[in-house]
Structure 1
């Protein structure tokens, strides 16, 4: 669940992600074996809803993004919802995508539009999907009759029972949140609820990784920490806590675990700011912080789920929903910061922020030379980034030759990393776009620090 009995503060930033951080727990994901994604080389899908600091990018529908490496995520449908619930509260949180035994999918989500944590819905949203391009047979599925909520549903195939298990956070007779379970064969009718896991204190956001060298791991949020339990079976009541918990700088929630190319990545949600860690061996419980340079979450994504998908599903989703018509640019040496305009000045600021549209750009053919590039604002499309007294400003195109030259740049291999990008001024070819005191400008570049300042990723 994207909130809890003690919701996260509305804004926070974590630092020091480039250092190794030992963790004694992980988040969890997926159905099936430890090596399912890595063995097949499958691409991935992420399901999420959206939230931004002032609510300008908040949307309680199902959003989808795809990735070939589970690190760099491309939003589909211009980062708009692909489906929105029509029943219950009319909104969703905490979507979960389940690949079923027959190759189709079920999508489930919390029935909650907004942040009224006192809302007591006994239902979850459910859709069937053949290929994550259509979402059919929408229904509200009642899981219990208790006077309490039904948060963060997830599901897995329990082969020993020949049924799917739906786990979720709810308050039972214990008086605190526990992980409940119902069993089903069709996601239309369910067995009576029972307690799946109760460590004796308040927990939410239960999530499973199954069959990892014969062990099943259950990870959950306790207050603002992630804690892990494990069991060699999937029977209710069989899991025991084996970690002390992780609470980095104020709290994290919504754990996800994904494996790509033999590496496990743990994602955590800190109020719509995702962090990732990695390990080569899930059983150790020790993780290293992943450099933010190598991963980019979908814009405004919140409490997500990640699943491997077949290549044909990936291709068909991209064909249907389309790639974004805009880009975002991330700083190489401050990878928590993105290009944006503020008061018509170009700068780099920490993600997330509002208006989030200040960070969206159309890279169009250069106004002075089509082999170059110009940066057109998405939310102020008559304006382009141009240099004036060497500082980048967002100005209206006045149609002059001078403006066209000032607003044109040549994209080159990144000065600090050739897999990234740098941008050389058209009319001052000895100068590159770089940040200085977080403000974008054009300068001659001659030092390692300057090359890092002048290097950016172009993604979504």
Structure 2
């Protein structure tokens, strides 16, 4: 979203393929290895200023070729809050949730009903949540408030399963005003990435700072597991309007450094990074960057994520005007079931 933050939670492999129409997803593994049980990709996005959730499915197992489902109409229309959702992130179950749930979370923001200034001063402090056991029926719509009244907004929530905690680490971007400035009319803090833990996307721990680079504003975080307690994360420098990557070999709270250099960036004039592993080529990853002033998402690729080396992919089969969202690798049975429910 314009001036927002994202997520795809580094989700990589489903362990076993399910029989036809039986959506078995009994084990998820966060690993860069290719997985023959995964034969497609499901993407969730919003389109421009249309604040609903649209589903896209890959053409076969091509990670950078997508087609619109549901005849190009939204699959989820929010009914709570501002009745607008942006920056959807699709999250697979982990730990005790494995084999039980997928979640879609997103930003509560309908820009047609507000302004960019107002949405950052007195915007929603909640996270939209839907859940599913089959990728088809999405229920339990809720808007969970995660920040107190000093926050100006909660934007582009995303999540990753933290094995060490047995919970999801959920992150988003917020800026803050002093407690005495109840109308949020003064100067705010720099925008920073916040986090909390949850097991069910219903109750959350008290939020805290995750990435604070003040006075630089940072938004749009997405995290990819590299295995062996190593991670890559991607975020936007909102001050410079660039997306860059950092790597930690010491876990989600380890020391993060830019592998390609302290000032290295992937691209300028972009936001909403969404990263996912390739199903067929071990060690290959795909990164979507939203060219918000132009044609939306464009794909990038890397076979050296830890080294921070990324290059633009072909856009020959990539649809235009997709905005900040995420992509989930899926099995053939899951692809078939989703396509049957929402035909292209």
The offset of 1:246, in angstroms, is: 2.7
Pairs within 5 Å for 1:55-454: 58-67=49-58, 68-101=61-94, 102-103=98-99, 104-114=101-111, 116-117=115-116, 118-119=118-119, 120-145=123-148, 146-172=150-176, 175-200=189-214, 201-212=216-227, 214-223=229-238, 224-236=241-253, 238-242=255-259, 243=261, 244-246=263-265, 248=267, 251-260=269-278, 261-262=280-281, 263-271=284-292, 272-293=295-316, 295-297=317-319, 300-323=321-344
Please give the per-residue CA displacement for 1:186-236, whole angstroms capped at 9, x wherever unaligned.
110101001111133210001101134542112100021012222234455
Residue-pair matches, total = 293
Match of 2:26 in 1: none
Superposed CA RMSD: 2.4
The offset of 1:312, in angstroms, is: 1.5
CA contact (8 A) 1:60 1:113 kept: yes
Match of 1:43 in 2: 40
SS in 1 for 2:309: coil
Please give the per-residue CA displacement for 1:126-179, whole angstroms capped at 9, x wherever unaligned.
011112211111100111113311111101111111111111111247811111
Which moved further from structure 2: 169-178 or 204-213? Answer: 169-178
CA distance in 1, matches of 2:40, 2:62: 6
CA contact (8 A) 2:271 2:290 kept: yes
Please give the per-residue CA displacement for 1:77-96, whole angstroms capped at 9, x wherever unaligned.
01111111111100100000
Does the C-alpha gap of structure 1 residues 138 and 187 become closer, same or farther in structure 2, counting only changes over 3 Å? same
Provide the TM-score with structure 1 as the length reference.
0.59
CA distance in 1, matches of 2:193, 2:254: 10
CA contact (8 A) 1:59 1:81 kept: no
Provide the TM-score with structure 2 as the length reference.
0.78
Please give the per-residue CA displacement for 1:106-139, whole angstroms capped at 9, x wherever unaligned.
1100000126333221101101111221111110
CA contact (8 A) 2:229 2:251 kept: no
CA contact (8 A) 1:196 1:237 kept: no
Query: Where does structure 1 lack aligned partners over 5 or more consecutive residues?
Result: 8-26, 52-57, 324-460
Please give the per-residue CA displacement for 1:325-369, whole angstroms capped at 9, x wherever unaligned.
xxxxxxxxxxxxxxxxxxxxxxxxxxxxxxxxxxxxxxxxxxxxx
* Structure with higher RCO (Cα < 8 A, 6+ apart): 2
SS in 2 for 1:314: helix
Does the C-alpha gap of structure 1 residues 142 and 318 become closer, same or farther in structure 2, counting only changes over 3 Å? same
The offset of 1:180, in angstroms, is: 0.5
Query: Where does structure 2 lack aligned partners over 5 or more consecutive residues?
Result: 12-28, 178-187
CA contact (8 A) 1:38 1:259 kept: no
CA distance in 2, matches of 1:82, 1:28: 19
